[in-house]
Amino acid sequence: MSEQNLIRHIIGGESRSDERTQPVYNPATGEQIAEVVMATPKTVDAAIADAARAQRGWRRTGMVKRSKVMFKVREIIDARQDELAAIITREHGKVHSDALGEIARGMENVEFCAGLMHHMKGESIEQVSTGVDVKQIRQPVGVVACITPFNFPAMVPLWMMTTAIAAGNAVILKPSERDPSAANWMAEVFREAGLPDGVLNVVHGDKVAVDSLLEHEGIKAVAFVGSTPVAKHIYKTSADHGKRVQALGGAKNHMVVMPDADLDSAAAAAVSAAYGSAGERCMAISVAVAVGDIADDFVARVKRQAEGLVVADGTQADADMGPVITREALERITGYVAGAAEEGGTVVLDGRGHDLPDRGFFIGPSLIDNVRPGMKVYDEEIFGPVLSVVRVDTYDEALELINSNRFANGTAVFTRDGKTARSFEFDIEVGMVGVNIPIPVPVGSFSFGGWKDSLFGDTHMYGPEGFNFYTRRKVVSSRWPEASDTQLQMGFPTH
């Protein structure tokens, strides 16, 4: 690979290399297009030292100036979003419109953060005791690590780093090594928007880099999004090293289709939520729960629509769905589909038989009916374009099924009945719920997060909870005594 195709770290505003590298592929062609450097613990040390220096200046920078950086970031990304979307499509594979959608969801947080003067406001009480006032202020935690997954190379970093920076922290962003270029592109944008060097650093790498970050005393908070086994490791190791941590994990999102639902719109919603972005969304629907006697009809409608999807290179204008991220992912997904019949499932649609490009990491949409807990396709997160259908007789069975699942990121109910929708909203043990909406992703002024094995930690990500995560509260009690207030008091104050 030429020097031009080497994706380097950005530390203290400078591009830096490392000896070890890893190939980066275009999943639509299967070809290697670049190489990314992999950080050693020494590189991580250097990045944290630079970030700590920069953070001392950044937290002293006026909030109005910080807010202006956010406005400028918004303006630049908005004007150049096609460029960023093309980078995402080239390394991730998702279709251009989907890449633009991810950028739009990330930008919502940039917009939210531009209002940082409001979000950083504290509280105060006058006259708690005679002449004593108390206030609570928010201060940044210091240098934070943001570790992100491959499936949203722009949105997830924009959720984490923007909030952290707005709150006055410095960031070490460790993006996925499978699609690392979007992170560098965004770091350049923040710089162009006026962010001082060193406040946002991009360190590329794998477990070596991540573990160095988790164990380093210079890192005060860790935000992570990725698979559940790694999320557990991040949560535990960060806690062992005394850091605050939020670690979002995997998902198995169920969509309940009630007998009274509008089946056409439910089927269309299932197709877009199961197969959009080749099923590589943490909010993808991977299980449809058909209640009562609508299952045959629902499955037939999903099949009809899924069969017509155009699976192609994401740069192609008519592509509905691109490739999956790697050859290993393709083999893993294929294995689930191939094994489904043996486990007792009915393979209604086999993605291997879809009209597919003859190179790249492609598989078409698969639909497996008569799936039950205990089958691998049900129990495990596939993270590919595979929709399982579980048939149940009643609403209560659907509720029990979802509440028994170890994952609890998102879920949805399709019904025309307000009482059913309200009961679902009340009883379901899942962090994000859609009512006649298949991917209930919160908007910028709410935060994002699941329950159970989908989130380790106690705060959700970005938005208002993000500002809680990235700040420490400090309580200041003050009194301005009169010259005559000189009496000695040895007891604990009773007011």
Q: Mind telling me the catalytic residues? A: 282
Size of interface with ligand NAD, in residues (CB under 6 A): 27
Residue 98 binds ligand NAD, judged by CB under 6 A: no
Which residue from 44, 210, 324, 367 is in contact with ligand NAD, where contact means CB under 6 A? Answer: 210
Residues 6+ apart with CB under 8 A from 219: 48, 143, 144, 145, 172, 213, 243
Dihedral sign, Cα of residue 389, residue 393, residue 395, residue 399 = negative
Per-residue mark of binding to ligand NAD, 452-481 (x: CB under 6 A): --x---------------------------
Q: Measured between alpha carbons, how far apart are the two ends of the chain, in Å? A: 72
Is 43 one of the binding residues for ligand NAD (CB under 6 A)?
Answer: no
Confirm or reject binding of residue 177 to ligand NAD (CB under 6 A).
yes
Cβ nearer to ligand NAD, comparing 211 with 397: 211
151 binds ligand NAD (CB under 6 A): yes
Choose, by CB under 6 A, the member of 93, 140, 226, 364 that binds ligand NAD.
226
248 binds ligand NAD (CB under 6 A): yes
Of 45, 206, 260, 307, the one binding ligand NAD by CB under 6 A: 206
For residue 18, state whether it binds ligand NAD (rule: CB under 6 A): no
Question: Which of 80, 207 has the CB closer to ligand NAD?
Answer: 207
251 is an interface residue for ligand NAD by CB under 6 A = yes
Q: Are 261 and 415 in contact (CB under 8 A)?
A: yes
Which range of residues in 10-18, 161-169, 244-252, 384-392 is near ligand NAD by CB under 6 A?
Answer: 244-252
Nearer of residues 51 and 230 to ligand NAD, judged by Cβ: 230
Q: Which of 29, 81, 97, 227 binds ligand NAD (CB under 6 A)?
A: 227
Question: With left for phi above 0 and alpha for psi between -120 and 50, is residue 415 left, alpha or beta?
Answer: beta
Structure tokens at 419: 């009482």
Binds ligand NAD by CB under 6 A, chosen from 25, 58, 112, 150: 150
Among residues 415, 377, 372, the alpha carbon closest in space to that of 395 is found at 415
CB of 239 vs ligand NAD, minimal distance in Å: 15
Question: Nearest-CA neighbor of 362 among 318, 327, 319?
Answer: 327
409 binds ligand NAD (CB under 6 A): yes
Q: Report whether 253 contacts 410 (CB < 8 A).
A: yes
Smallest distance, ligand NAD to C-beta of residue 207, A: 4
Residues in the chain: 495
Q: Which x/- pattern over 272-301 shows residues binding ligand NAD (rule: CB under 6 A)? A: ----------x-------------------
CB of 212 to ligand NAD, least distance (A): 10
CA atoms within 13 A on the CB side of 256: 32
From 25-33, 193-201, 204-212, 340-348, give the range in contact with ligand NAD by CB under 6 A: 204-212
Q: Between 147 and 290, whose beta carbon lies closer to ligand NAD?
A: 147
Helix axes 228-240, 207-215, angle to 10 degrees: 30
Residue 135 to residue 236: CA distance in whole angstroms: 33
Give the interface segment with ligand NAD, choosing from 29-37, 174-182, 335-343, 366-374 (CB under 6 A).
Answer: 174-182
Q: Which CB, 96 or 252, lies closer to ligand NAD? A: 252
Closest chain position to ligand NAD (CB): 226
d(CA 237, CA 233): 6
The stretch among 31-39, 202-210, 344-352, 436-444 that binds ligand NAD (CB under 6 A) is: 202-210
Site for ligand NAD (CB under 6 A): which residue of 148, 246, 447, 459? 148
Q: Which is nearer to ligand NAD, 206 or 215 (CB)?
A: 206
Measured at the CA of 69, the angle between CA 64 and CA 72, to 5 degrees, comes to 125
* Structure tokens, 358: 């003859």
Interface with ligand NAD, residue 176, by CB under 6 A: yes
193 is a contact residue toward ligand NAD (CB under 6 A): no
Q: Which residues in 372-391 contact ligand NAD (CB under 6 A)?
A: 381, 383
- Return d(Cα 277, Cα 323) in angstroms, integer: 8
Residues of this chain that bind ligand NAD (CB under 6 A):
147-152, 174, 176-177, 206-207, 210, 225-227, 230, 233, 248-251, 282, 381, 383, 409, 450, 454
